[in-house]
């Protein structure tokens, strides 16, 4: 079964998650070939509609679409009529007239990609909406952990940081739990929701969380731009209490733990400099896998326009 849109992880069936993760494997194998392109989406058009900044998601969607031979157009929000007050509806109606097949959208407002999906025949892919969802990040994180632990059931992932504002925490913990991974949250009480998803342990103390024996520690970016109030005393204090300091890095190395971060990293806040060169860091692997997973998503979705 194929879908028109990918808006979140929660709406995916387990078989669909498996299908996407399996499909990403041969796409990743392509990266080692001299010709990295396949004609799967030749003649299709992908529009990148990013109202918020992005390095990894934007560039990996663009590379993914091009490796599938699709034509890619970047909608340049700062130089568009959006700055003259054009509404999202007007923008989408204009783009609909151009008969684009896929719209990859990032926006600060939760639920906006879903609204766009209802307005257009194009396949809409949520590339991150507010604090709601970042489904392709969840997929690439699951794919990356599965490369290290092919049998995921019973593995433990500790997500550390700003759970409250994080669409990554939401999507990644949802997919991991669907795949049988145990997930726990660690962070300041002000940033870890008291009522979380079922079966999610919640810690505010680093030592207590380590006693839970995670296999992977997943640091979230501190999202200063989404915090309208200060949730902790200072960034220096945050690093000391929740960050991977040099001392903690030695300990996680000694215990053989894997390290992940969705990027961009606030150095000296979530991770000390030395953590960037940690031998079990999966951060670069996450970026590489983002392309393969996004190829799988583009290949799988079926736009609802004419000729489909
Ligand atoms: N992980 C992530 O969404 O990074 P970007 O903001 O750079 O896309």
pTM for the predicted model, two decimal places: 0.94
Among protein residues, the one with the nearest Cα to ligand 1's atom 4 is 56
Give pLDDT, residue 230: 76
Pocket test for ligand 1, best of 50, 55, 166, 168 (most atoms within 8 A of CB): 55
Q: Measure the CA–CA gap between 172 and 183, rounded to whole angstroms.
A: 9
* Cβ atoms within 10 Å, residue 200: 17
- pLDDT block averages, 10 residues each, the chain of length 308: 92 97 97 94 96 95 98 88 85 86 96 94 96 97 98 97 92 96 94 76 95 98 70 87 96 98 95 96 98 98 68
Give pLDDT, residue 276: 94
Q: Measure the CA–CA gap between 133 and 164, rounded to whole angstroms.
A: 12
Any ligand 1 atom below 6 A from CB of 262: yes
Q: Which two tokens stand for residue 253?
A: 């190395």
Q: Measure the CA–CA gap between 211 and 11, rounded to whole angstroms.
A: 33
Q: Measure the CA–CA gap between 73 and 58, rounded to whole angstroms.
A: 12
Give pLDDT, residue 228: 57
Domain residue spans in the chain? Answer: 14-133+288-300, 135-282
Q: Which two tokens stand for residue 21?
A: 């993760």
Q: Measure the CA–CA gap between 114 and 250, rounded to whole angstroms.
A: 44
Please tell me whether residue 275 adopts helix, strand or coil conformation: helix
CATH of 14-133+288-300, one of 3.10.20.30, 1.10.3720.10, 3.90.550.10, 3.40.50.1370: 3.40.50.1370
Phi and psi torsions of 103, nearest 5°: -120, 120
Domain 135-282 bears CATH identifier 3.40.50.1370: yes
CA distances from 86 to 92, 104, 115, 276 (A): 10, 19, 16, 42
Please tell me whether residue 304 adopts helix, strand or coil conformation: coil
Q: Do domains 14-133+288-300 and 135-282 have the same CATH topology?
A: yes
Give pLDDT, residue 225: 66
Give pLDDT, residue 240: 94
Spacing, Cα 211 to ligand 1 middle (Å): 30
């Amino acid at each position: 079964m194929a879908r028109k849109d990918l808006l979140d992880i929660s709406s995916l069936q387990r078989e669909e998650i498996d299908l996407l993760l399996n499909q990403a494997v041969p796409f990743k194998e392509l990266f080692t070939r001299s010709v990295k392109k396949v004609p799967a989406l030749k003649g299709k058009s992908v529009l990148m509609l990013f109202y918020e900044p992005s390095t990894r998601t934007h560039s990996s969607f663009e590379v993914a679409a091009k490796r599938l031979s699709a034509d890619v157009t970047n909608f340049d929000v700062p130089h568009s009529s959006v700055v003259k007050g054009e509404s999202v509806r007007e923008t989408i109606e204009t783009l609909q007239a151009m008969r684009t097949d896929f719209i990859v959208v990032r926006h600060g407002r939760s639920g906006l990609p879903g609204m766009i999906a209802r307005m257009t025949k194009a396949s809409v892919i949520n590339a991150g909406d507010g604090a709601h969802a970042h489904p392709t990040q969840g997929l690439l994180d699951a794919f990356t952990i599965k490369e290290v632990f092919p049998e995921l059931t019973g593995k433990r992932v500790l997500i550390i940081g700003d759970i409250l504002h994080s669409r990554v925490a939401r999507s990644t913990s949802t997919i991991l739990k669907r795949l049988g991974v145990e997930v726990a949250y660690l962070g300041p009480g002000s940033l870890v929701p008291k009522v979380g998803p079922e079966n999610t342990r919640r810690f505010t103390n680093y030592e207590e969380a380590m006693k839970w024996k995670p296999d992977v520690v997943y640091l979230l970016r501190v999202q200063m731009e989404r915090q309208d109030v200060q949730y902790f005393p200072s960034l220096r204090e945050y690093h000391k209490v929740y960050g991977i300091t040099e001392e903690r890095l030695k300990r996680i190395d000694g215990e053989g733990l894997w390290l992940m971060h969705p990027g961009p990293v606030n150095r000296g806040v979530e991770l000390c400099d030395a953590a960037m060169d940690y031998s079990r860091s999966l951060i670069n692997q996450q970026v590489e896998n983002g392309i393969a997973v996004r190829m799988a998503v583009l290949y799988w979705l079926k736009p609802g326009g004419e000729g489909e």
